[in-house]
Amino acid sequence: MVQDARLYQIGFLALFLLLGAGTRDWSLNPVVVLSAIATCLITQALCGAVFYPSDSLDPETEDPETEDPATETANHANHTGDFWGAIALRCRNPKILSSLPSALVTGLGMSLLLRVDHPLTMALAVIGAIASKFVLRLRGGHVFNPGNFGIVMALLWSGDAWVSPGQWGESGWYGLLFLGAGGLVLQKVGRWDTSAAFLGSYAVLEAVRNLWLGWTWDVWAHRLMSGSLLVFALFMITDPRTIPNSRTGRLIWAGAIALLTFILRNVFFLSTAPFWALFALAPLSLLLDWLLPAARFEWSQSALRLPFSPRLASRQKYVPE
């Protein structure tokens, strides 16, 4: 049984891409998708080589008599001033390989949600997304959801990028597929409460508006069955590394995003309201972690390992609340 939930995300997001291109005629450009995936992986590896410490093993648990050759050599290179040797060894940091599934999730997610006219626009967007994880940090965590950051930057600074909320149409089959796949992933990472709070809060707000205006419930169902909204709620807003660690914090945070999404969509008529709401309220996650401290999420198991990294991978674990 696969323990790393990121592998399920990768499988489902790839399936959604193929399904959308095959049944919804999105006219996806394979060059754009491949450029997004390749750029994500390369940027993650380069940023990891620069920002991850070469001695990433925990010194408190490290046994000097059994130190692995890669770490020992890296420390020697750093101490003796061998610049290129240190760079080469940094590229062998086991944390780089174990972080690549997260980068692949970002690349697939952005390929699913963001549309561009030129592959370079997508490449710049994913570079910004991955780089934000390493540069925009506070209290040891990401400030922004990487995929959301890349999408918002592309919408802000590029004239050929857009998000199409209605690309999945209104078929209930897609909604059931998203709910089933998203439910499986969220059960693995224990963050189903975030999606439930967001969708439940947003559904109540839209229901109140529907009653106020005297509209039929078909309108309400139409606004909630948007495929892009479900993908956002199940696969983007639930990134366990960028949401509050405590359950109470997650419920407050998801409710606030639902409220801002409702305002942006119905007052300012922004069709991409969920993405702007998540971007604007991302720093609130750090404040809630400070006010409501809880165990920080860690991925349960590295999907990929280098031969010299058994001890680092074995220390990664999921700490449930």
pLDDT at 2: 61
189 lies in the same domain as 140: no
Query: Within a domain: residue 148?
Result: yes
197 lies in the same domain as 277: yes
Query: Within a domain: residue 73?
Result: no
Q: What average pLDDT score do residues 36-43 get?
A: 94
Cα–Cα dist 115/218, whole Å? 28
186 lies in the same domain as 245: yes
159 lies in the same domain as 180: no
Q: Are 146 and 127 in contact (CB under 8 A)?
A: no
Cα–Cα dist 13/107, whole Å? 10
> For residue 279, what are the domain limits?
176-293
Q: What is the pLDDT of residues 61-107, one digit of tens each?
A: 444 444 444 555 555 555 555 666 776 777 777 788 888 999 999 99
224 lies in the same domain as 183: yes
- The answer to whether the predicted template modeling score (pTM) of the entire model surpasses 0.75 is yes
Query: Within a domain: residue 170?
Result: no
2 lies in the same domain as 141: yes
Among the residue ranges 5-19, 156-170, 249-263, the one predicted with the least confidence is 156-170
133 lies in the same domain as 185: no
Q: What average pLDDT score do residues 119-141 get?
A: 91
Give how many domains the chain has, as a whole number: 2
Query: Within a domain: residue 80?
Result: no
Query: Within a domain: residue 67?
Result: no
- Which residue would you say has higher pLDDT here, 241 or 205? 205
Nearest to 200 by CA among 241, 265, 257: 257
Query: Within a domain: residue 132?
Result: yes
28 lies in the same domain as 157: yes
Q: What is the pLDDT of residues 204-222, one digit of tens each?
A: 999 999 999 999 888 888 8
Q: What average pLDDT score do residues 158-164 get?
A: 86
Q: Final residue of a domain: which of 141, 163, 185?
A: 163
Tokens of 168: 């999945």
123 lies in the same domain as 243: no
5 lies in the same domain as 124: yes
pLDDT at residue 286 tops 80: yes
Query: Within a domain: residue 1?
Result: yes
154 lies in the same domain as 184: no
3 lies in the same domain as 27: yes
Going 57 to 94 to 87 to 106, the CA torsion angle's sign is negative
Q: If you average pLDDT over every residue of the chain, what do you get?
A: 81
- Which residue would you say has higher pLDDT here, 52 or 167? 52
Query: Within a domain: residue 302?
Result: no
Q: What average pLDDT score do residues 188-214 get?
A: 91
